[in-house]
Chain A
Amino acid sequence: MQRRDFIKLTGAGAGGLMLPMSGFAVSADQLLDKPMDVAYKKKLADIALNAAKAKGASYADARIGRYLNQFVTTQETRVDNIVNTESAGIGIRVIANGTWGFASTSNMTPDSVAKTAEKAVAVAMANSKFQTVPVQLAPVKGVGEVSWNTPIKKNALEIPIKEKVDLLLSVNDAAMSNGANYITSILFLVNEQKYFASTDGSYIDQDVHRLWAPFFATAVGKSGFKQRTGLGNPVGMGFEYLDGKEEDKIRISGANVGYKNSYDMLEDATAAGKQLQAKLKAKSVEPGKYDLVLDPAHLMLTIHESVGHPLELDRVLGYEANFAGTSFATLDKWRSGKFNYGSERVNLFADKTQPYSLGNVGYDDEGVKTKEWDLVKDGTLVNYQATRDQVHMIDQKESHGCCYSQSWRDVQFQRMPNVSLKPNEKDISADDVIKDVENGIYIAGRGSFSIDQQRYNFQFGGQLFFEIKDGKITEQIEDVAYQSNTQEFWNSCSQLAGKSDYRIGGSFFDGKGQPSQVSAVSHGCPTTRFNNINVINTARKV
């Protein structure tokens, strides 16, 4: 996500009204309005599908969406912003003359919906003049009328504003009482009410919930300032994620607390204050080769950048060449069946089904039932991430179910599913992974991350760095970033913790496409060790 979008979203920018990126704000009680009647949605969708077919579409789908968001932003002792937004409308996608066409409208009268469907067909017909290869869709059997809901326990939108404000202000107080001078804390709450219908005979009603509670704390000392962000994860859960249950905490000896499916924000903010003070005094890393032990709240982003993105089939094929880039993981490497993506310990899989994950849905945005599949098996590249119109290009007959649009307004396209690293079959702990390291660094939290447009060369930082000497974490250090090459890095994977340590992290605002769309995606992994990685020192005097 672009920084400016983030600033707009949180209202942290200077000047003007404080607004989110899109959508229109509504009062808190309205967020609890009942969703649109399913029978009415079916009627509207049928109007769209029939109008498209009548104008010559060979395929059509309609997505009726109601997107509800709430953002609460606080800084230190004050509430900066409370925004409720709602956005509703219909997006209609068609194939006519073998070419895609799309149009959308917020005006959901039957007449407007029919006209929008006709416009989508007209766009397809116009673009078909330039189309060189007709669209080829993998078959999907209609599923009739079905529904799916994120399995939440507490609907975050139903929690009173006061409770949310009190939580964030207590988090700020905890950080500032323990060493932070400044802190911004935010609650992002998302509810996508999505209805999908297609000419294949599917009518799918889904209620999707996501939550993220980040904070950004700063401490100012005599020698300068340091920053620490929260170690919580964005999740496909309700407000229960913020219960902070003890059984969901993993304590790493001498370092931080890792959070599984429940986050103790207050505890993390308290730790952040103390760790900020330690950062101000910490020694600067000596550059060189180290064995790195990466905490899941850090490794998730390395997976995202060095596995998730390069294995998106649209990038591999060149559809993202002008924006995000292409990929080193070319079709010839995959076809060889011998491309060593990583060491034999490395098993990476994709899914949109893991409970608590951001990608978890019943069906994707083109009506494909979601599933799990392997991307890298025993270190070898075995598959990509693809949609209905792409799988035939990799000789497959079934879509992977990776189609997503950020709203009813935008056209759906291939987006990253959850991409995760399988834990060790032997259920060893994070401390067990650390104990064999003679000279290493343990890294937790996501920091600076940068990777080239074909995903070879990367450089990643983190939030917390701890020196490891003779199998034990000794002290907090600073100014660490590691540089590596994707294939070399994954081939240096030497140990993984087991399933008890497996945690799901994620990215709430993954950007892709032109015009750019955001998507939320999770990455599960255990604490993992990588041997002999190049570490640089990021401190610089100017």
Chain B
Amino acid sequence: MTILTEQHAKKLLQKVLSFSKADECECNLDGQVGGNIRTARNTVSTAGEQSDLTLAVQSTFGKKTGVATINEFDDASLMKVVKRSEELAKLAPENPENMPAFGKQKYLASKTAFDSTSSVTPDDRAQAAEDSIKPSKANKLVSSGFLQDATTFVAIMNNKGLFAYNKATNVDFTVTIRTEDGKGSGWVSRDYSDVKHLNTKKASQVAIEKSLGSVDAKEMEPGKYTVILEPAASVQLLSNMFGSMNQRSADEGRSFLSKKPEEGKEGGPTNKLGEKMFDERVHIYSDPMNSEAPTAPFAGDGHRVGKTDWIKDGKIVNMPNSPFWANKTGVEYRPTAYAGSGLFGGPSQIIMAGGNDSLEDMIKDTRRGILVTRLWYIRPLDPQSLLYTGLTRDGTFYIENGKIKYPIKNFRFNESPIVMLNNIEALGKPERINGSMIPPMKIRDFTFSSLSDAV
């Protein structure tokens, strides 16, 4: 019941709309079925399955809007949820920024769902966990991991003719493998739309090698270093930057993309659209049709989305905005693809173009540098410069003359992705991480501010 076909969802939403008396009525139907298994200390700690189906109804009278949701689907419940949203709309004050609903849309056909992932059973999960734990035990290491798979769907319909439907599948696997004495730690992350690409045994081997290789790490002085950031090390900084690219914040003077008024001139801030801010190799975009990290071809309001360049040739070429702000400033509406809700919701997909080199090739081409597996506890320090702090974790190594020389102690970094994307030495082949496609990056002058004793 929780995953409806397109036809079933359409029929249900048509029935919901038939109960509406509002000027505008928009319905979202979100269904999720998923399972997970968690391991620690080389054994299963928890496992479970969760499912949910929720209908949300937004009713609008003039500029007054109300939202109500429900998870029961008999006719009486459907009538009730429509009525509730209408009651709330009547109670709500007018929202001057309320915008009319979109009409019928034409969508791209992105392949986001795979039967293989929908068919995962508790036994499959247990086997995947065992495949990860077994080699860890054989190496006298301690494994803790998490595997989660989900099938989700969303259907959106309004009384202006819009109907959107998308089904998606995803599987995420992470494992941390530590030495028994706690002196070494390695980690790996894999996520796919199609579970057939997941090999927990092979992935865990990466964490095992990092764990064994990170024992007895040496101290290096904090300072500026050339780093090779694996995709897992840079994805959050890039996602955070993308999350700060909203046009309205920039126009209002409260973003790294705000342009200060020129000295002595009247007027408010403007934005940096069209300005070159990064190395000219930087190309960041979204694309629902990406075969490795596909997304729904529409936004949460049902508006179509296609491939959208955000940064190209190092220049800001588009900024995400809302229908209200796009209309107010006379630019095109630039939404991001719907990324799910509730338990299985994820961040917006971003794709950063890279080259063809593998991580190994990039290490070979490095005379002196630091390999960073991932960054942890990333927090903003200055929203104007996008300065962030955080720490390296689970595998930090010194590279000399094209080889990993020895493990080093973890660092705290204080750095901005703006600086990072200006100091690019090389970009490798993009890999999927957290639903995005990110290349390994070699960056010069990355700022480490202090040492951490954490392993």
Contact = CB atoms under 8 A, between A and B. Distances in A.
Interface of A: 3-4, 8, 13-19, 21-28, 78-85, 100, 102-103, 106, 123, 126-127, 129-133, 161, 165, 181-182, 218, 220, 222-225, 227, 317-323, 325-326, 328, 330, 409, 411, 413, 448-457, 459, 461, 479, 481, 483, 485, 514-515, 536, 538-542
Contact of B381 (A218, A452, A461): A461
B218 interface: no
A542 B277 CA distance: 10
Contacts of B246: 14
Given A452-B377, A483-B412, A18 B67 contact: yes
B451 A19 contact: no
B286 interface: no
B224 to A, nearest CB: 13
Contacts of B377: 450-453
A515 B261 contact: no
A542 B416 contact: yes
Contacts of A536: 414, 449
A222 B378 contact: no
Contacts of A481: 381, 389
A182 B322 CA distance: 18
Nearest to B376: A453
Contact of A459 (B43, B126, B341, B412): B412
B318 to A, nearest CB: 14
A93 to B, nearest CB: 10
Interface string B49-91: 0101010101000000011111100000000000010011001
A8 B67 CA distance: 14
A430 B238 CA distance: 42
A220 B67 contact: no
A495 to B, nearest CB: 26
Contacts of A330: 182
Nearest to B390: A450
A61 to B, nearest CB: 15
B384 interface: yes
B254 interface: yes
Given A165-B93, A220-B254, A318-B41, A452 B48 contact: no
B379 A450 contact: yes
A227 B243 CA distance: 17
A132 B387 contact: no
B44 interface: yes
A538 B387 contact: yes
B91 A182 contact: no
9 contacts: A14-B320, A16-B301, A318-B178, A319-B40, A322-B145, A330-B182, A450-B378, A450-B391, A540-B419
A19 B67 contact: yes
B56 A17 contact: yes
A536 to B, nearest CB: 7
Contact of B44 (A127, A181, A456, A459): A127
Interface of B: 26, 28, 36, 38-48, 50, 52, 54, 56, 58, 66-71, 84, 87-88, 91-93, 95-97, 122, 126, 129-130, 142, 144-146, 148, 174-176, 178, 182, 187, 243, 246, 252-254, 256, 258, 260-261, 269, 299-301, 303, 320-322, 335-336, 338, 341-343, 345-347, 376-387, 389-391, 393, 410, 412, 414, 416, 418-419, 422, 449-455
A483 B449 contact: yes
A485 B454 CA distance: 11
Contact of A456 (B36, B58, B258, B452): B452
Given A83-B67, A542-B256, 15 more contacts: A14-B246, A14-B322, A22-B342, A85-B69, A220-B253, A223-B260, A224-B384, A319-B144, A320-B40, A325-B454, A452-B410, A515-B343, A540-B387, A540-B416, A542-B387
B390 A457 contact: no
B69 A25 contact: yes
B382 A126 contact: no
B341 A8 contact: yes
Contacts of A542: 256, 385-387, 416, 418-419, 422
Contact of B91 (A25, A28, A453, A456): A28
B142 A541 contact: no
A456 B454 contact: yes
B28 A15 contact: no
Contacts of A413: 46
A14 B342 contact: no
A319 B45 contact: yes
A126 B182 contact: no
B48 A411 contact: yes
B193 to A, nearest CB: 19
Nearest to A536: B449
B385 A541 contact: yes
Closest 5 CB pairs of A and B: A16-B300, A457-B452, A220-B253, A452-B454, A454-B454
A218 B254 contact: yes
A93 B187 CA distance: 31
B345 A4 contact: yes
A321 B40 contact: yes
Given A448-B379, A459-B389, A459-B412, A78 B69 contact: no
A449 B390 CA distance: 9
B190 to A, nearest CB: 13
Contacts of B93: 78-79, 165
Contacts of B145: 322
Contacts of A131: 43-44
Contacts of A326: 178, 182
A25 to B, nearest CB: 4
A110 B146 CA distance: 33
Name the residue in A165, A481, A542 with the highest tally of chain B Cβ atoms < 10 Å from its Cβ: A542
A17 B26 contact: yes
A536 B222 CA distance: 14
A126 B144 CA distance: 19
A309 B438 CA distance: 32
A15 B335 contact: yes
Given A127-B44, A450-B378, A514 B455 contact: no
B376 to A, nearest CB: 6
A323 B38 CA distance: 11
B29 to A, nearest CB: 11
A454 B455 contact: yes
A108 to B, nearest CB: 12
Nearest to B44: A130
Contacts of A321: 40, 142, 144, 176, 178
B269 to A, nearest CB: 7
Nearest to B455: A454
Contacts of A449: 379
Nearest to B342: A22
Nearest to B256: A542
Contacts of A14: 246, 320-322, 335-336
Contacts of A222: 260-261
A325 B454 CA distance: 10
Nearest to B30: A19
B242 to A, nearest CB: 12
A24 B142 contact: no
Given A15-B336, A17-B28, A452-B452, A225 B387 contact: no
B146 A322 contact: yes
A3 B382 CA distance: 16
A327 B260 CA distance: 45
Contact of A161 (B91, B336, B378, B412): B91
